Amino acid sequence: MFENILLGFSAFADPLVPVGLIVGALLGYMIGAVPGLGPSLGVALLIPFTYSLDPLVSIVTLIALYAAAEYGGAISAILVNSPGTAAAVTTSWDGFPLTQQGKAGVALNISIISSGIGIFGSTILLFLTAVPLSEFALDFGPTAYFALALVGLSLVSTLSNGSPLKGAVAMGIGLALATVGLDAQTGIPRFSSHPEFFEGFPLVPVLLGLFALSEVLFMVEAGPSEKTKSQPMSGILAVPLKTFGKLKFHLMRSSVLGYVIGVVPGAGASIASFVSYAVAKKTSKTPEQFGKGSIEGIAASESANNAAVSGALAPLLALGIPGSPTTAIMIGALMIHGIQPGPLLFTTKPEIPYTIFAALWISVPVMIFIGLAGARYWAKVADVPRPAIAATVATICLMGAYASENSMFPVYVTLAFGVIGYILRKVDIPLAPIILALVLGEMLETNFRRALVISNGDLDIFYTSPLTLVLLTIAILSFAMPAVRFLREKLNQRRHVQEIYHEEE
Amino acid sequence: MNTSTASTQGTPKDPAKCPHRQVHSIQVPLVWLELVFGLVLLLVAGTYLYEAAKLPDPMNPKAVGAGDFPMIIAIGTLIAVFLMCCHGLVKIFREKEHERVELSRPLSVIIAVLILGGIGAFLDSLGAIIATAGLSALLMIAVGERRPLHLIAVPMGLALGLYAIFVLALGVYFP
């Protein structure tokens, strides 16, 4: 195992790998600082630039961007009360009041260092859990994989923002898209009137369209941005170490919470920061300070949302199941380089997962330095005019789509999914389940069919293995959870009405 | 879940503060949008089910054929969409106030879609530099940029920058 860790760190002997890490970190900070551009969009936009790069350089760059975008989201949250990412909303609750009190530098320092601690601690947890999990998953059969994919999809559909019914519709759309192309077992073309569709929908152009081009249309709708007024920053380097000593329990607890929540498919960084913030407030000696400029609140929120980055990588690396839209996009990037994430990755290509661990650890000092040294410049990024951002995102989308296959077909796919993504977001249909279903669809179908071939068409195979049974139960409960919650709310309402009626009598 | 939908659909400019630029917006009840979208999706899922049913059966009668899994997906999606439509209908009849979706600057959005479609469709014949510069300039105008220096500098910078990165540094072929 330690040989493998050394293998991971040795990848940094290639000068392009550390360069990739720094470039990824810089771009991540920039993307995170701009409200509306999150890590998902950032990773999707960066993929076209990695086509011709070495796989290790590409992966390190993408991982650094993913982590740095979560760091960067806090900057605009603290300075202009406009969270760069959804996960930084809780940071703004205490960060911006501190800025109004003239302590913007302190808030930024706490957020950047807490983010670093969150990433560092959670990567240790990732290392300790992903490796044994991948060894355990080596014994999984087709039924277990089918059930695992179903659990991932069910949790994402029910836990993602908005109505669970819309999550289910989104999942259906994604699964239907995944069936387009030649059938892997029989070679029959399905829903493909044109040979371009025989290989199915190309993942990167679909991602660029759904996540990035739809965002461009939202920018057009929002119109030119008004100039934000950045607050003066002082004291960014004047936070004493003992402050972090006082925060150590919050930081440790939030890192663990963030990691655990990040592992659960569909939960992600924003839920991690909300839960961690609530727990920190409950356990704090000064809960009245929360919302008015509590450094405990900032530390809890930032360490948790960054720890969730490592958490989301655990199911991706160990099982090949993406737990968040960003990791689903990451699967697309890995596949472009011929890398199939999953339990076999640790034995066939150990340099990939161990370089990811090393990159996460090495990224901590790099990102803390970049964050502290360049805080005032990252804050200016939020001032870049919206028309320029829209033009940049749109051109990268189209050029990136063209470059993916050197043909016009991916460009048309990107354009179509850009408009579809815009309409879906207007109707409040979440995009995350579509992407996850598109990625997991083939795995789900292949393992379902393989299991039935093994059992000669007998469905008993799905409930004779305890592991499959447990996973299928979780999936069923997860699908049923919204209905149970709805019935419970109705019962509570009825009980409440009856109580009022009795009181009146 | 942290998606990129975070916040840009936020605040359209306040017309009171921008006397020169009137912000046009349409407000549509979300339930009506859901209903229209649901009906379109019912049609699409129905067609998908019909196409899946036409796929040939497997040689082995006990195996799952090419069309069986898509049929399961289609039926599941049809049920979910049908329930979504029913939920929308119940809300229309029960609730007096409906949540509204704001469609700001609809004309600009349509123009932006046409720009993207037009330049995208002719990307190979226009060439990378002209397409990038043209797309970014027109799109910036659609978003509302009117400063000439920005309209010249940003597209030029983008076209040359992307060309340098993709073609010269990464060796990607462009028309």
Ordered by start, the domain boundaries in chain A are: 2-141+203-428
Taking an 8 Å cut-off on Cβ atoms, the answer to whether A392 and B2 are in contact is no
pLDDT at A127: 93
Q: Give the alpha-carbon dihedral of A315, A316, A320, A325, to 10 degrees.
A: 110
Q: What is the pLDDT of residues A400-422, one digit of tens each?
A: 888 888 888 999 999 999 999 99
Q: In whole angstroms, how large is the CA radius of gyration of chain A? A: 23
Q: Which helix (H) or strand (E) holds A46?
A: helix A39-46
- In this model, does residue A129 exceed pLDDT 90? yes
Q: Share the mean pLDDT of chain A.
A: 87
Task: List the single residue in A85, A179, A226 with the smallest CB-CB distance to B6.
Answer: A85
pLDDT at A364: 93
Out of A157-161, B109-113, B120-124, the most confident range is B109-113
Q: Which of A179, A383, A395 to mutate to test the interface with B (most CBs of B within 10 A)?
A: A395
Straight-line distance from the first to the last Cα atom of chain A, in angstroms, rounded to the nearest whole number: 72
- By three-state DSSP, how is residue A240 classified? coil
Q: Which residues contact A300 (CB under 8 A, 6 or more apart)?
A: A90, A114, A250, A253, A254, A273, A276, A277, A279, A280
In the block, residue with structure tokens 């993929």:
A47
In the block, residue with structure tokens 């989201």:
A73
pLDDT band for B16, please (50, 70, 90 cuts).
very low
- In this model, does residue B3 exceed pLDDT 60? no
- In this model, does residue A395 exceed pLDDT 60? yes
In the block, residue with structure tokens 């609750």:
A93
Give the range among A47-56, A203-212, A320-329, A464-473 with minimum mean pLDDT. Answer: A320-329
Of the candidates A335, A96, A84, which has an alpha carbon nearest to the alpha carbon of residue A206? A335
Q: Which of A210, A221, A443 to mutate to test the interface with B (most CBs of B within 10 A)?
A: A221
- A1 vs chain B: nearest CA distance in angstroms? 33
From residue B136, alpha-carbon distances to A37, A402, B143, B151 in Å are: 18, 16, 10, 8
Taking an 8 Å cut-off on Cβ atoms, the answer to whether A85 and B171 are in contact is no
pLDDT at A373: 85
For the entire predicted model, the pTM comes to 0.85
Q: Share the mean pLDDT of chain B.
A: 84
Q: What ipTM, to 2 d.p.?
A: 0.87
Q: What is the mean pLDDT of residues A74-87?
A: 80
Q: What is the pLDDT of residues A159-213, one digit of tens each?
A: 666 678 888 999 999 999 999 999 988 889 999 888 889 989 998 899 899 989 9
* Contact assessment for residue A318 and residue A137, using Cβ atoms and an 8 Å cutoff: yes
Task: List the single residue in B70, B117, B171 with the smallest CB-CB distance to A179.
Answer: B70
Residues on chain B touching A28 (C-beta within 8 angstroms) = none
Task: List the single residue in B30, B51, B139 with the smallest CB-CB distance to A428.
Answer: B30
Q: B104 - beta bridge partners?
A: B25
Taking an 8 Å cut-off on Cβ atoms, the answer to whether B136 and A165 are in contact is no
What number of C-beta contacts closer than 8 Å exist between A and B? Answer: 277
For the stretch A63-82, what's the b/e string if a residue is b when 16 or more beta carbons lie within 10 angstroms of its beta carbon? bbbbbbbbbbbbbbbbbbbb
- In this model, does residue B58 exceed pLDDT 90? no
Residue, of A445 and A233, whose pLDDT is higher: A445
Q: What ranges make up the beta strands (E) of B17-170?
A: 25-29, 100-104
Q: What is the mean pLDDT of residues B80-95?
A: 90
